[in-house]
Amino acid sequence: MSVNTFGRLFRFTTWGESHGPAIGAVVDGCPPGLALDESVVQPFLDARRPGTSKFTTQRKEPDAVRILSGVFEAPDGVQRTTGTPISLMIENVDQRSKDYSDVARAYRPGHADYAYDAKYGFRDYRGGGRSSARETASRVAAGAVARLVIPEVTIVAYVSEIGGDLIDPANFDLEEIGNNPFFCPDPAAAKRWEAIVDDARKSGSSVGAVVECYASGVPAGWGAPLYGKLDADLAAAMMGINAVKGVEIGDGFAAARLTGEGNADPMRPNTETGPDGAPEFLANHAGGIAGGISTGQPVTCRVAFKPTSSILTPQPTVTRPNEKGEREATELFTKGRHDPCVGIRGVPVVEAMMALVLADHKLLQRGQCG
> Rounded distance, CA 152 to CA 298, Å?
12
When binding is defined by CB under 8 A, the residue of 176, 186, 231, 351 that contacts a second copy is: 231
* Segment 181 to 220, residues that bind a second copy, using CB under 8 A: 200, 205-210, 219-220
Q: Does the protein bind a second copy through residue 310 (CB under 8 A)?
A: yes
> Rounded distance, CA 76 to CA 71, Å?
13
Residue 335 marked as a ligand binder: no
- Max distance between CA atoms of the chain, in angstroms, equals 78
* Segment 46 to 105, residues that bind a second copy, using CB under 8 A: 66, 68-70, 72, 74-75, 80, 82-87
Element (H, E) at 162: strand 154-162
Shortest Å distance, C-beta 163 to a second copy: 7
- Total count of residues recorded for the chain: 370
Task: State the Cα angle at 256 between 250 and 260, rounded to 5°.
Answer: 85
Which one of 27-35, 36-44, 53-61, 173-181 is the stretch in contact with a second copy (CB under 8 A)? 27-35
Which one of 13-21, 42-50, 150-158, 171-179 is the stretch in contact with a second copy (CB under 8 A)? 13-21
Residue 243 marked as a ligand binder: yes
Please report, for residues 197, 199, 208, 211, 350, the alpha-carbon distance to residue 182 in angstroms, rounded to integers and kept in the order given.
10, 15, 12, 10, 14
Which one of 17-25, 95-103, 169-177, 178-186 is the stretch in contact with a second copy (CB under 8 A)? 17-25
Q: What is the dihedral of CA 251, 221, 148, 43, to 10 degrees?
A: 0
Packed helices 342-369 and 136-149: angle between N→C axes, nearest 10 degrees = 40
Q: Does the protein bind a second copy through residue 169 (CB under 8 A)?
A: no
* Segment 234 to 273, residues that bind a second copy, using CB under 8 A: 234-240, 242, 245-253, 255-269
When binding is defined by CB under 8 A, the residue of 4, 52, 58, 216 that contacts a second copy is: 4
> Could you tell me how many residues of this chain bind a second copy (CB under 8 A)?
163
Q: Does the protein bind a second copy through residue 180 (CB under 8 A)?
A: no
Q: Does the protein bind a second copy through residue 348 (CB under 8 A)?
A: no
> Rounded distance, CA 248 to CA 228, Å?
17
Q: Give residues with Cβ within 8 angstroms of 161, minimum separation 6.
A: 167, 209, 210
Q: Does the protein bind a second copy through residue 133 (CB under 8 A)?
A: no
Shortest Å distance, C-beta 175 to a second copy: 25
Q: How far does CA 182 lie from the centroid of its chain?
A: 15
When binding is defined by CB under 8 A, the residue of 307, 348, 350, 358 that contacts a second copy is: 307
Tell me the binding residues.
Answer: 48, 54, 130-132, 242-243, 291, 306-310, 337
